[in-house]
């Protein structure tokens, strides 16, 4: 019976192995490539996004039928019907591989050849394919003739996980939610929204506006409204001007607005059926003339003096008589190298033109029109400005963020008292150049931002002011630096009068910290340095470098003050390090550091001199050669200082000839919020004759000193010593010594033991010593002279011939506690 059971299991295993061998005659692999379409059936029209490899792993020809299954994390399963058979097989010879794409399995996307679970065929067709979710496609090979599987089952033959996601609906940019809108030109109101990312060509938009009566919720008003709506229109672009020909808005009444994106071809799928969030606005009375509203950021009466390297010249300086001219007659004028479209004039007299208009910006600012105001612009017969300035208008609600221009503080472009609120405002999509409409007929007010994502971090460079004159154009810019681990956790950097032209920036731009900023990071103080006026080079202070794409890099210059309970300057007082680094993120930078000689707070015996020192302020990396075993977990998140190379001044127990201080070269010292940690090792520090133990000649062959978290752990030194009564010419007279170093509250303690390889030759006594269990007691410390006392145990022999005395022969005379001191 036992043998029968063994035979049964053996047979089962053989059958299983045989089955695996039969099934795995063909290997199938598949990869789905990004970008992932919004509908699974799009892979039929984008076959290159699906890469399939099939290999005949057998020794015979194979006729193959492929079938697939799509499985989602939402319970949906769609598979090719088991009964489906293509018109012809895929034929592969032994060992042959064939690469396929979506075209080769087009029947996978035929609604009528599929089976559905978790979704009906009608839902699959009418809702544009698979709903949102993460999916996986698995393909299996079958014998074309007998329908038996010839490739392994799942997970073999399965693709990477891919997503099916709908497009985001549009975001209304103008009017803003709950804004009071009005027009000086009789109901001319721009309606703007963004173009959703990934939107294909041909998308159209439906604008719907309904009245909100009483205290109704705008969403309820929109949902319950019935045709005919107050206003509804389909447009091809992401902008429409609500003009006098449109239904008349009632002053003081609230309206709700929604924009719906849709694809006439029904290919693109939008979330929420393409409907934006509902916003509301109130139509107010007509505004006063805009040019008469003071620009709170830069008063028009206080013209700046501009001086750019990239300036143009105007040869005809004869002013044109513009008295009683209209805006239509003036039209477009040239201010420097830019076109200024005059939209409104409040004065046209001998003093020049006063009014408002728009200036089209260069391509690096997305070509957007900026709303400007001007006073007393004078032009020549070619409509070229010859004097005066046009100044960008500041948006309502933003003036409080921007200080009045001060030529003595050119880097103060943001009010430091409300930086958080300013940063939140600039994070709004409607404040970003990329989301605006370059065809806008009115022009945008500042501040506006250039955004750029570096890693996972979105940065926004804010343009806070623009000024145009007859020769040049400048802008002011600001940047809010976020420092999540610091207190305070934000800083303002800025620059005034950054020169630009239609072709781009006139050189590289820099935004400087306007004043020194004291930070506290994990209990340590760091002072970020501002650029100082005077003869310092431009590469000084803390600043942001930007180019035409926005933020480029961050330059950090600061002073790090160590807590005095950790380390102190050798010269006295707090140890302070100069920190300089280039970074793209506050959470990822490693600085080069200059640090004067320092000592541990509770141990003045060792002085550290760092030749190379780094400050690690990165969450993702460490300095090169950082000991990986220092911080057992999350080593990349460690913050602190690392010295790959340094010199250490040792205590004065040993002296090196021609030097007041004995210093060794070592490696890998760490300083963090727990103190100094390092395992110092130096070999062949000096040879015999180059140093002394008190007054005895010695060498220093090995130094080992270990510190951990600002505590001395242990130490050891070793070398050779030559006693003054020994034969100075005989190398065999040199004694090997080792000494442990320990520490107690009174200071470092040394315990020397000596050993000899040969008999010690003592000519003054005509003797040879053999020593054992001998030691040297050393008294050394700061401010005292080092002394040494040798206690010898052993024996001596005198076997020699002394003149006059004759031959002596004393062998193995023993002695104990024979002392010899310096």
Task: Give the pLDDT band (50/70/90) at residue 15.
Answer: very low
Residue (of 292, 295, 298, 388) closest to 334 by Cα position: 388
Partners of 665 in beta bridges: 647
Task: Give the pLDDT band (50/70/90) at residue 301.
Answer: very low
pLDDT at 142: 94
- The mean per-residue pLDDT over the stretch 133-146 comes to 91
Position 149 pLDDT exceeds 80? yes
pLDDT at 100: 87
> What's the number of CA atoms in the CB half-sphere (13 Å) around residue 260?
13
The CA-CA-CA angle for residues 438, 286, 300, to 5°, reads 65
- The mean per-residue pLDDT over the stretch 279-300 comes to 52
How far apart are alpha carbons 179 and 181 in whole angstroms? 6
Per-residue pLDDT tens digits for 565-620? 888 888 888 888 888 888 888 888 888 888 889 888 888 888 888 877 888 888 87
When comparing pLDDT for 653 and 112, which is higher? 112
How far apart are alpha carbons 357 and 749 in whole angstroms? 84
Residue (of 282, 558, 526, 293) closest to 399 by Cα position: 293
Write down the mean pLDDT value for the chain: 81
In sequence order, the 6+-apart residues with CB closer than 8 A to the CB of 25 are 56, 57, 58, 62, 150, 151
Q: 137: which 2 tokens?
A: 């496609």
How far apart are alpha carbons 393 and 448 in whole angstroms? 11
DSSP symbol at 298 = S
- The mean per-residue pLDDT over the stretch 418-431 comes to 82
pLDDT at 66: 93
> Would the pTM count as exceeding 0.85?
no
Position 127 pLDDT exceeds 90? no
Cα–Cα separations (whole angstroms), residue 180 to 124, 284, 370, 428, 790: 44, 6, 21, 18, 96
- Under a CB-based contact definition with an 8 Å cutoff, are residues 692 and 822 in contact? no
Burial class of residue 72, CB neighbours in 10 A (0-12, 13-18, 19+): buried
Q: Which of 335-344, 598-607, 716-725 has the highest mean pLDDT?
A: 335-344
> What's the number of CA atoms in the CB half-sphere (13 Å) around residue 206?
11
SS3 16: helix
Task: Give the pLDDT band (50/70/90) at residue 803.
Answer: low
pLDDT at 377: 94
Position 84 pLDDT exceeds 80? yes
In sequence order, the 6+-apart residues with CB closer than 8 A to the CB of 224 are none
- The mean per-residue pLDDT over the stretch 224-238 comes to 90
pLDDT at 500: 92
- Under a CB-based contact definition with an 8 Å cutoff, are residues 295 and 373 in contact? yes
Q: Which long-range contacts (CB under 8 A, 24 or more apart) does 699-707 make?
A: 700/654, 700/656, 700/662, 703/650, 703/664, 704/679, 704/680, 705/606, 705/648, 705/650, 705/679, 705/680, 705/741, 706/678, 706/679, 706/680, 707/600, 707/675, 707/676, 707/677, 707/678, 707/679, 707/680
Beta pairing, strands 133-143 & 62-72: antiparallel
Q: 530: which 2 tokens?
A: 């501002």
- The mean per-residue pLDDT over the stretch 375-398 comes to 91
Position 11 pLDDT exceeds 50? no
Per-residue pLDDT tens digits for 743-767? 777 777 777 787 776 677 777 777 7
Position 258 pLDDT exceeds 90? yes
Beta strands in 5-121 (DSSP E): 26-32, 50-56, 62-72, 77-80, 90-92, 97-100, 114-117
Q: Which of 5-19, 109-123, 373-387, 410-424 has the lowest mean pLDDT?
A: 5-19
Position 13 pLDDT exceeds 50? no
Sign of CA dihedral 724, 727, 728, 730: negative
- The mean per-residue pLDDT over the stretch 359-366 comes to 86
Cα–Cα separations (whole angstroms), residue 195 to 88, 321, 398, 749: 45, 45, 25, 76
Per-residue pLDDT tens digits for 666-697? 788 888 888 888 888 888 888 888 877 778 88
% residues pLDDT > 90 (the chain): 21
pLDDT at 16: 41
Q: Which domains does the chain have, with CATH numbers?
A: 22-164 (2.60.40.10), 172-283 (2.60.40.10), 311-392 (no CATH), 640-821 (no CATH)
């Amino acid at each position: 019976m036992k043998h029968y059971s063994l035979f049964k299991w053996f047979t089962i295993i053989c059958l299983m192995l045989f089955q695996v061998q039969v099934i795995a005659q063909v290997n199938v692999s598949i990869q789905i490539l990004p970008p992932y379409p919004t509908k699974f059936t799009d892979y039929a029209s984008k076959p290159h996004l699906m890469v399939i490899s099939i290999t005949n792993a057998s020794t015979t020809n194979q006729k193959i039928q492929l079938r697939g299954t799509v499985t989602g994390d939402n319970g949906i399963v769609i598979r090719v019907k088991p009964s489906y058979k293509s018109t012809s097989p895929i034929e592969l010879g032994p060992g042959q591989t064939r690469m396929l794409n979506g075209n080769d399995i087009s029947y996978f996307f035929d609604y009528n050849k599929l089976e559905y679970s978790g979704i009906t065929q009608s839902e699959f067709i009418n809702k544009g394919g698979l709903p949102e979710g993460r999916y996986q496609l698995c393909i299996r090979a079958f014998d074309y003739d007998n329908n038996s599987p010839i490739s392994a089952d799942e997970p073999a033959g399965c693709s990477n996980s891919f997503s099916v996601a709908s497009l985001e609906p549009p975001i209304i940019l103008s009017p803003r939610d709950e804004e009071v809108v009005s027009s000086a030109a009789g109901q001319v109101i721009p309606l703007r929204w963004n173009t959703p990312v990934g939107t294909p060509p041909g998308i159209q938009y439906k604008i719907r506006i309904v009245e909100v009566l009483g205290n109704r919720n705008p969403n309820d008003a929109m949902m319950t409204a019935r045709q005919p709506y107050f206003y509804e229109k389909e447009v091809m672009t992401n902008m429409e001007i609500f003009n006098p020909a449109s239904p008349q808005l009632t002053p003081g009444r609230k309206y709700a607005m929604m924009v719906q994106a849709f694809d006439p071809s029904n290919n693109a799928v939008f979330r929420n059926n393409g409907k934006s969030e509902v916003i509301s606005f109130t139509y107010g009375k007509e505004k006063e003339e805009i040019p008469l509203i003071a620009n709170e950021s830069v008063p028009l009466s206080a013209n700046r003096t501009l001086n750019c390297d990239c300036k143009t010249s105007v040869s005809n300086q004869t002013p044109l008589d513009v008295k009683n001219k209209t805006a239509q007659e003036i039209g477009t004028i040239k201010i420097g190298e830019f076109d200024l479209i005059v939209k409104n004039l409040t004065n046209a007299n001998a003093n020049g033109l006063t009014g408002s208009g728009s200036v089209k910006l260069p391509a690096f600012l997305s070509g957007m029109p900026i709303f400007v105001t001007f006073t007393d612009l004078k032009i020549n017969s070619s409509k070229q400005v010859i004097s005066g300035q046009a100044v960008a208008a500041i948006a309502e609600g933003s003036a409080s963020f921007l200080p009045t221009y001060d030529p003595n503080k050119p880097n103060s472009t943001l009010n430091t008292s409300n930086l958080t609120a300013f940063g939140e405002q600039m994070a709004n999509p409607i404040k970003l150049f990329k989301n605006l409409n370059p065809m806008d007929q009115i022009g945008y007010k500042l501040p506006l931002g250039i955004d750029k994502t570096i890693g996972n971090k979105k940065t926004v460079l804010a343009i806070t002011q623009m000024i145009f004159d007859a020769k040049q154009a400048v802008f002011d810019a600001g940047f809010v630096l976020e420092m999540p681990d610091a207190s305070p956790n934000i800083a303002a950097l800025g620059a005034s009068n950054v020169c630009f032209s239609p072709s781009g920036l006139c050189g590289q731009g820099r935004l400087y910290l306007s004043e020194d900023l004291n930070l506290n990071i994990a209990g340590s103080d760091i002072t970020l340095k501002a650029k100082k006026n005077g003869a310092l080079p431009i590469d000084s202070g803390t600043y942001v470098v930007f180019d035409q794409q926005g933020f480029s890099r961050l330059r950090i210059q600061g002073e790090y003050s160590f807590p005095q309970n950790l380390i102190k300057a050798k010269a006295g007082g707090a140890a302070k390090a100069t920190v300089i680094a280039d970074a793209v993120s506050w959470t990822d930078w490693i600085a080069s550091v200059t640090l004067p000689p320092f000592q541990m707070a509770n141990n003045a015996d060792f002085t550290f001199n760092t030749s190379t020192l780094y400050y690690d302020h990165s969450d993702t990396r460490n300095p090169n050669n950082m000991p990986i075993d220092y911080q057992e977990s999350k080593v990349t998140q460690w913050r602190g200082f690392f010295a790959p190379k340094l010199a250490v001044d040792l205590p004065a127990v040993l002296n090196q000839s021609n030097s007041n201080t004995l210093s060794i070269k070592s490696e890998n010292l760490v300083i963090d919020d727990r103190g100094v940690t390092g395992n110092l090792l130096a070999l062949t520090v000096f040879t015999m004759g180059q140093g002394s133990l008190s007054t005895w000649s010695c060498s220093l062959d090995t130094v080992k000193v270990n510190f951990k978290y600002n505590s001395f752990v242990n130490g050891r030194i070793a070398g050779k010593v030559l006693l003054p009564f020994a034969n100075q010419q005989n190398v065999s007279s040199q004694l090997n010594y080792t000494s442990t170093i320990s520490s107690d509250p009174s200071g470092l303690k040394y315990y020397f033991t000596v050993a000899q390889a040969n008999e010690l030759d003592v000519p003054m006594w005509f003797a040879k010593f053999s020593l054992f269990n001998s030691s040297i007691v050393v008294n050394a410390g700061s401010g005292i002279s080092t002394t040494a006392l040798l206690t010898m145990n052993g024996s001596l022999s005198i076997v020699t011939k002394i003149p006059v005395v004759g031959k002596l022969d004393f062998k193995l005379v023993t002695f104990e506690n024979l002392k010899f001191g310096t």
